């Protein structure tokens, strides 16, 4: 006889672990699987997350995973003019390094962060299997679903009432359910970043706009702790004939930061695809919901996905707790309530941001588009931004 769980979660990133942890805290029997041997690696993310995002889902900012505290933003246009949004100056009684004051956010080590979140889930009672790959799922007449897994080469079938696909942008779970998960080339930013030594930073997330440096996206310089920095960018491949590697070299050698980067030494190379896209229109099916990148819970303006994964995971975990209380069938219709709740809490705002983003990148005139992006980014990170908490 196969093992039986209330919920199986595939993918142990911020969204999957948060869903699993909250479901387990509500006394559900949860299995969390991930095909990797160590989480978070290879890193495909810059690691910036607000303090609010962690606190809202009950995660203490722990030195185990924090690279460096962040106090604000510096938004640049193509030529180097910039708007500094430093909360140490804007709200000096609240934000700062000294005792009693707080950071605005953090740059985290995704290897340590994802492992920390998994640990919290395990402590809440979640069973975790690493080196375990999901192969398929099949709803059955009894109202459950059968999930085929492979764990250290061994085929295992698990029964569950609900499968949670938290398997990232490369989501296979969504495809199993036949959901239209396909993302357009112009909406997936091709990203590359270097962790570097000998580039100074000042507790701010620096965002550099401009078609010359990052067509269809932006470049960034983030503090990475221990005196290191992270230099990265994402480009829309439909807007340039060059790849991200060419663009990052061009940015480092030819931009207004060329002197600053002159002595930089590369310590790590990371990349990834970041969706600057709308959330998935259908994030549910019979016995199934999707969370995090798999549901494209990513901010379409910033490409930020940790906060949205944590919040989405919390919504999913609470939805599942409630769903199991009701003792109703896991039909597609009943699973839809998850998406409805998510839209109210987060999704509708993300759709609005997507419209803002689309308007910018549909603008044909490059200087006009660059100005729109610079203004939007500057407004987005201002203290009075209506989108501050996404």
* One character per residue 160-199, x = contact with another protein (rule: CB under 8 A): --------xxx-x--xx-----xx-x--x-xxx-------
Find the shortest distance in angstroms from Cβ 136 to another protein: 8
In the complex, the smallest distance separating the C-beta of residue 196 from another protein, rounded to whole angstroms, is: 16
Q: β-strand 229-235 against 219-223: which pairing, if any?
A: antiparallel
Nearer to another protein, 238 or 254 (CB): 238
Is 131 a binding residue for another protein by CB under 8 A? The answer is no
Q: Which of 339, 216, 357 is nearest to 300 (CA)?
A: 357
Q: Tell me the sheet residues that pair with 134.
A: 149
- Cα(80)–Cα(51) distance, integer angstroms: 28
- Report the candidate in 332, 7, 327 with the shortest Cα–Cα distance to residue 163: 7
**If binding means CB under 8 A, how many residues of this protein chain bind another protein?**
25
Residue 148 or 337: the one with the smaller Cβ distance to another protein is: 148
Alpha carbons 342 and 363: distance in angstroms, whole number: 30
List binders of another protein among 237-296 (CB under 8 A).
237, 243-245, 269-273, 275
Task: Select 125 or 273, whichever has its Cβ closest to another protein.
Answer: 273
Least gap, CB of 257 to another protein (angstroms)? 20
The closest alpha carbon to 26, from 301, 279, 325, belongs to 325
Three-state DSSP at 286 gives: coil
Cα torsion through 68, 73, 75, 80, rounded to 10: -60
Sheet order of strands, 105-108 included: 48-50, 105-108, 66-70
Q: How far is the CB of 55 from another protein (least distance, A)?
A: 29
The binding track of 22-61 with respect to another protein, each residue x by CB under 8 A or -, is --------------------x-x-----------------
User: Can you say whether residue 113 is alpha, beta or left, with left for phi > 0 and alpha for psi between -120 and 50 degrees?
Assistant: alpha
* 188/295 with CB nearer another protein: 188
The minimum distance between CB 28 and another protein, in angstroms, equals 27
Contact residues toward another protein (CB under 8 A) are 42, 44, 168-170, 172, 175-176, 182-183, 185, 188, 190-192, 237, 243-245, 269-273, 275
């Amino acid at each position: 006889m196969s093992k039986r769980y209330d919920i199986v979660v595939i993918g142990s990133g911020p969204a999957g672990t948060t869903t699993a942890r909250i479901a387990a805290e509500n006394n559900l029997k949860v299995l969390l699987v991930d095909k990797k041997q160590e989480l978070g690696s290879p890193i495909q993310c810059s690691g910036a997350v607000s303090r609010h995002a962690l606190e809202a889902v009950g995660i203490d900012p722990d030195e185990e995973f924090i690279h460096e505290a962040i106090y604000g933003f510096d938004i640049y246009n193509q030529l180097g003019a910039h708007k500094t949004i430093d909360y140490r100056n804007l709200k000096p009684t609240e934000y700062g390094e000294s005792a009693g004051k707080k950071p605005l956010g953090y740059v985290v080590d995704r290897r340590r962060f994802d492992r920390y979140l998994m640990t919290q889930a395990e402590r809440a009672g979640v069973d975790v299997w690493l080196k375990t790959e999901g192969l398929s799922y099949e709803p059955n007449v009894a109202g459950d679903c059968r999930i085929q897994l492979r764990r250290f080469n061994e085929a295992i079938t698990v029964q569950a009432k609900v499968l949670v696909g938290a398997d990232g942008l490369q989501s296979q779970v969504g495809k199993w359910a036949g959901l239209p998960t396909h993302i357009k080339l112009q909406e997936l930013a091709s990203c590359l970043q270097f962790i570097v030594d000998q580039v100074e930073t000042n507790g701010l997330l620096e965002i550099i706009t401009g078609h010359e440096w990052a067509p269809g996206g932006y470049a960034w310089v983030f503090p990475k702790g221990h005196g290191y920095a992270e230099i990265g960018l994402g480009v829309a491949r439909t807007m340039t004939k060059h790849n991200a590697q060419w663009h990052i070299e061009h940015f480092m050698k030819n931009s207004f930061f060329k002197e600053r980067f002159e002595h930089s030494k590369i310590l790590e190379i990371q990349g990834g695809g970041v969706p600057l896209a709308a959330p998935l229109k259908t994030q549910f099916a019979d016995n199934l919901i999707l969370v995090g990148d798999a549901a494209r819970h990513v901010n379409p303006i910033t490409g930020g996905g940790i906060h949205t994964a944590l919040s989405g995971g919390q919504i999913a975990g609470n939805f599942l707790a409630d769903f199991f209380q009701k003792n109703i069938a896991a039909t597609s219709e009943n699973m839809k309530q998850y998406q409805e709740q998510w839209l109210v809490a987060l999704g509708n705002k993300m759709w609005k941001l997507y419209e803002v983003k689309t308007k910018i990148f549909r603008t044909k005139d490059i200087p006009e588009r660059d100005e729109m992006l610079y203004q939007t980014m500057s407004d987005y990170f201002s203290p009075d931004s209506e989108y501050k908490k996404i």
